[in-house]
Amino acid sequence: MDLLEILLYIQIALSASCLYRIIRGPSIADRMVAIDIFGVLVVGICAILSIITEKGFILDIGIAWIILSFIGTLTLAKYLSGKKLNE
């Protein structure tokens, strides 16, 4: 087995371990942290997968995922601090 494939499986296992914190987390902020880090790990999966398959378009999925995760986390942080979304 190639080294990059082993790294890909490790990365998938790490992103599955974030699901533990999403299910278990005591407060809402723990779940949001875990969802944010889950998105970051999925971007890593996309990058490694694009090297293995030699297809460049998989990186586009990563870029879109970064931006959506960033906007979602900022919106939920605004909601937590008790402000309206246009302040």
Partner 1 sequence: MVSTILIVIGVLFNLIGCIGLIRLPDVYNRLQSATKCGTLGTCSILVGTLFHYGFTEAGIKAIIAIPILFFGATVAAHALVRGAYHFGIKLGDKSVKDDYKDAIK
**Whether 43 contacts 14, CB under 8 Å:** no
Question: Hey, which residues between 5 and 24 contact partner 1 (CB under 8 A)?
Answer: 7, 10-11, 14, 17-18, 20-21
Question: Hey, which residues between 31 and 60 contact partner 1 (CB under 8 A)?
Answer: 32-34, 36-37, 40-41, 43-44, 47-48, 50-51, 56, 59-60
Provide the token pair at 42.
């999925």
Q: Residue 13: which residues within 8 A CB-CB, separation 6 or more?
A: none
Q: Residue 25: which residues within 8 A CB-CB, separation 6 or more?
A: 31, 33, 34
Provide the token pair at 85.
């979304």
Binding footprint of partner 1 on the chain (CB under 8 A): 3-4, 7, 10-11, 14, 17-18, 20-21, 27-30, 32-34, 36-37, 40-41, 43-44, 47-48, 50-51, 56, 59-60, 62-63, 66-67, 69-70, 73-74, 76-82
